Amino acid sequence: MPTVLVVEDERDIRDLLRRYLERAGFSVLTTASGIEALRLLSASDLVILDLGLPDIDGADVLREIHALGALPVIVLTARTSTDERIRGLELGADDYVTKPFSPHEVVLRVQAVLHRYGDLPAESGPVSYGQGRLRIDEGAHQAWLDDTVLDLTPTEWGLLAAVAASPGRVYSRYELVNRVRGYEYAGYERTIDSHIRNLRRKLGTGGADVVETVLGVGYRLGLRQDGPQ
């Protein structure tokens, strides 16, 4: 499923949107920083952007996103005046949500924008890798290796689903922390290696071949995604 980047300086709102978006099947990245958001754009399919950020003005972030290409943006802000709404849309926002808001409504707006861009795939079953050796069903929150169901913790599931999102792509420890736990989990990056070891143990003797280490960089899925049968 597409990855949504939530750029919001209030942690409670970030956590709330993460829960609702993940429940709807999206992968979620979060940050309170406009500067960090610009670094995460390449890993994102849509941005939910608060205009009141602590480091740089959200409008400047919106201008930069618009200048870089056709990445959809939903502005989330407490600025409710008509002039502010028009300004946000003129700067390239695809939609505009004012606080307070319904998180369910935000999810529906995300889905609507992605449908317009053609980035929201239809519901599907398990995706297989390595000629059927590994299967992952995002909707059912389940994974199988050699037809055996994997008993994974939420963190182990998040790590496996993250590297499987783009087979062969190397994910840094920081990116994996963000996808699994969120930007605000300071220090969590140091524990990623331990969770990878636990995941590999559950994958069995070939676990290191399924989730490969790229020295000095991070981790990647070592299996290719299977094509349509």
- Residues 132, 202, single domain; the answer is yes
- Residues 137, 87, single domain; the answer is no
pLDDT of residue 58: 84
Enter the pTM of the model: 0.59
In a domain, 72, yes or no: yes
- Residues 13, 88, single domain; the answer is yes
Q: Considering its fold, how many domains does the chain have in total?
A: 2
Per-residue pLDDT tens listing for the chain (229 residues): 789 999 999 999 999 999 889 888 899 999 999 999 999 998 899 999 998 889 998 888 888 888 887 689 998 877 666 666 666 666 778 888 888 888 888 888 898 888 877 665 555 578 899 999 999 987 677 899 998 999 988 788 888 988 888 888 888 887 787 666 654 455 566 688 888 999 999 998 888 899 999 998 899 999 999 876 4
Instruction: Look at residues 117, 143, 168 and tell me which one is the last residue of a structural domain.
Output: 117
Q: Which residues contact 161 (CB under 8 A, 6 or more apart)?
A: 27, 136, 138, 143
Q: Which structural domain, as residue segments, surrounds residue 185?
A: 127-221
- Residues 23, 79, single domain; the answer is yes
Instruction: Look at residues 67, 86, 117 and tell me which one is the last residue of a structural domain.
Output: 117
Residues in the chain: 229
CB 139 within 8 A of CB 188: no
